Amino acid sequence: MNKHINIFLSTLTLLFILGCNNNPNRHFELGNWYYEKGLIDEAILEYREVIRLYPNETKLMKREDLELASKAHFNLAIAYSQKGWFEYALKEAETTFNMYPTKENYEMVELLKKRKSLDSIEINSDS
């Protein structure tokens, strides 16, 4: 039974990926799906693909595109945190806040700054 479920999920994922093409929304949804399944590396790749599909200059973006891109950066920060990559997570959180300055995005930056400083204290105490 598990074999059939795995085949079904693999087929569903493949169809979803093929349907993504250059659609940031689909990559974002797939990233969320991977994250929910605990597939953090795959989620990271999908969130990065969302970001890649948008222009670097946020002034050129529509509001809904800016929201999705900032959510991708936010989710990427969370995924990096799950991997223990707090330096990268902080960079993504700061990008999120710069793109879309909300209270939630600010709190993420501050939380990651505290986490990063805790890592520094732990490294220094180990020396």
What average pLDDT does this structure show over 19-43?
91
Two tokens at 53? 């599909």
57: helix, strand or coil: coil
Average pLDDT over residues 22-41: 95
Per-residue confidence at 116, pLDDT binned at 50, 70, 90? confident
Compute the average pLDDT of residues 71-95. 96
Determine if the pTM surpasses 0.85.
Answer: no
**Token couple for 60:** 């050129």
pLDDT at 12 over 80: no
Q: Where are the domains of the chain?
A: 2-126
Question: What is the model's pLDDT at position 127?
Answer: 53
* Mean pLDDT, rounded, for 5-34: 75
Helix, strand or coil, per DSSP, at residue 66: helix
Name the CATH superfamily for 2-126.
Tetratricopeptide repeat domain (1.25.40.10)
Q: Is the pLDDT of residue 6 over 90?
A: no
